[in-house]
């Protein structure tokens, strides 16, 4: 079935709608004519083939008309959906740039503060170290906390 739809998709839309409309008109006219053909002499012998052919053309016309209308309605919905997606992608990219800038600025602020504090430690080093010697156990506790591990019991 998709092969048929693919082949139909190759025909331009304007040409396709004309073909479908002609099929419908021929189908309707042929079907109605099938009822009156019996009154026309000589031609009335073709009544049955005309009726069958007209009904087949009418059914095919209705089928393609339905398919075409649905296809057009979906294409419009797809176009709107694609536009929305495109817009959302642009907004998402813009948001990312804003967040990226914010992160860089805030991290720079953190690093700058760290440098200032470290300079302060260097400046006050003598005063800090003057009366205090850090025991080894304090270093161990600090390192355990930094690595999130439970302290070992040393005697």
| Interaction site with another protein (CB under 8 A) | 1, 59, 62-67, 70-71, 74, 77-78, 81-82, 84-85, 87-89, 91-93, 95-96, 99-100, 102-104, 106-107, 110-111, 113-114, 117-118, 121-122, 124-125, 128-129, 132-136, 138-140, 142-143, 146-147
**Judged by CB, which is closer to another protein: 45, or 118?**
118
- 57 burial (CB, 10 Å; 0-12 / 13-18 / 19+) is buried
Give the residue from 23, 21, 19, 26 showing the smallest Cα distance to 50.
26
Q: Is the dihedral of CA 41, 42, 44, 45 positive or negative?
A: positive
Query: Minimum Å distance from CB 42 to another protein?
Result: 30
Query: Minimum Å distance from CB 78 to another protein?
Result: 5
**Judged by CB, which is closer to another protein: 52, or 103?**
103
Angle at 65 between CA 83 and CA 58, to 5 degrees: 175
């Amino acid at each position: 079935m998709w092969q048929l739809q693919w082949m139909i998709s190759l025909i331009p839309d304007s040409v396709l709608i004309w073909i479908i409309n002609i099929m419908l008109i021929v189908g309707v006219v042929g079907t109605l004519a099938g009822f009156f053909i019996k009154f026309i002499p000589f031609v009335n012998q073709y009544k049955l083939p005309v009726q069958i052919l007209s009904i087949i053309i009418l059914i095919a016309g209705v089928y393609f008309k339905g398919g075409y209308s649905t296809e057009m309605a979906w294409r419009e919905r797809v176009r709107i959906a694609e536009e929305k997606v495109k817009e959302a992608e642009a907004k998402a990219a813009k948001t990312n740039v804003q967040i990226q800038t914010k992160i860089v600025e805030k991290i720079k602020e953190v690093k700058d503060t760290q440098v200032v504090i470290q300079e302060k430690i260097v400046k006050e080093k003598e005063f800090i170290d003057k009366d205090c010697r850090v025991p080894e156990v304090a270093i161990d506790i600090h390192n355990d906390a930094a690595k999130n591990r439970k302290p070992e019991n040393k005697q």
